[in-house]
Amino acid sequence: MKTDSNAYLTFALGDEKFAIPVDHVQEVVEFGQVTKVPNAPLYMLGIINLRGRVLPLLDTKLKLGLSSTDRTKKSRIMVLDIHTEDDKNIQIGATVDVAREVVEISANEIQEAPEFESLKTAAPITGIVNRQGDITLIMDITRVFSVTEVLELNRSLN
């Protein structure tokens, strides 16, 4: 999906601040009842009822290999629209600790992502923005929430 928009949604996972292109975000909703689907990897939290739509819910931190945090009043679900490699559009919910704001980030502000010590996995980060020490990591959502990867993990589990 080609996008000209420079608008990003920023959110927090633990102490890190992340951003994703706002085009991929349908909406941000509060936590409701989650129905667990048995026999699935831990980071697949279950399914939620989003106004009559059944949406799978992923724990973003567990998916990134971080430890999960307890749900707080500030916890939110980002409803994401992801275009997959095999030309499908899938919708999933992804948890964040705090959903912040939509900001404009121009392309020349984005620096190449360095190696990250704090994120143990090879962090799926496409770039980093430094605004007077306020660091925002731009997340590669197709990689983080890639269905193929989810399926592979899933397969190894079963």
Residue 108 CA to residue 129 CA, distance in Å, equals 9
Q: CB–CB of 115/107 below 8 Å?
A: no
112-151 mask for other proteins (x: CB under 8 A)?
Answer: -----------------------------------x--xx
**Contact between residue 112 and residue 59 where contact means Cβ atoms under 8 Å apart:** no
One character per residue 37-76, x = contact with other proteins (rule: CB under 8 A): xxxx---x--xxx-xxxxxx-x------------------
Count of chain residues binding other proteins (CB under 8 A): 29
Q: Say which DSSP state 32 is in.
A: -
Q: How far is the CB of 134 from other proteins (least distance, A)?
A: 33
Q: How many residues belong to the chain?
A: 158
Joined tokens for residue 47 = 């399914």
Residues of the shown chain interacting with other proteins in the complex, contacts defined by CB under 8 A = 33, 35-40, 44, 47-49, 51-56, 58, 88, 90-92, 147, 150-151, 154-155, 157-158
